Amino acid sequence: MLAATGKSDVSDRSAPRLRSRGEFTRFERARILGARALQVSLGAPILIEVPATLVDPVEIAEREFAAGRIPITVRRRPGD
């Protein structure tokens, strides 16, 4: 819709914030953690040092994610 000045209302909105390569949406994070926890539970090697008492695969996946050691790549379509 055009305003009285002839300008579009769309131009007044701020541009959407672009994510850098290191940032993930909450959905991407959940998918990565779930996939990695499944891998760990099925016997995949753990890529960080964890205490011997830590056996929960979800907790291990969260710690690997925080350390940036999860070997999973997120592919996004151009423009997303």
pLDDT score of 66: 95
Report the domain count for the chain. 1
Is residue 74 situated within a structural domain?
yes
Residue 41, burial from CB neighbour count under 10 angstroms (0-12, 13-18, 19+)? middle
Please report whether residue 78 resides in a domain: yes
CATH of the domain at 39: 3.90.940.10
- Please indicate, yes or no, if residue 49 is contained in any of the structural domains: yes
- For 45, the domain range is 23-80
SS (H, E, C) 30-60: HHHHHHHHHHHHCCCCCCCCCCCCCCCHHHH
Residue 9 lies in a domain: no
| pLDDT tens by residue, 15-33 | 455 455 668 999 999 999 9
Query: What is the model's pTM?
Result: 0.70
Assigned domain for 4 exists: no
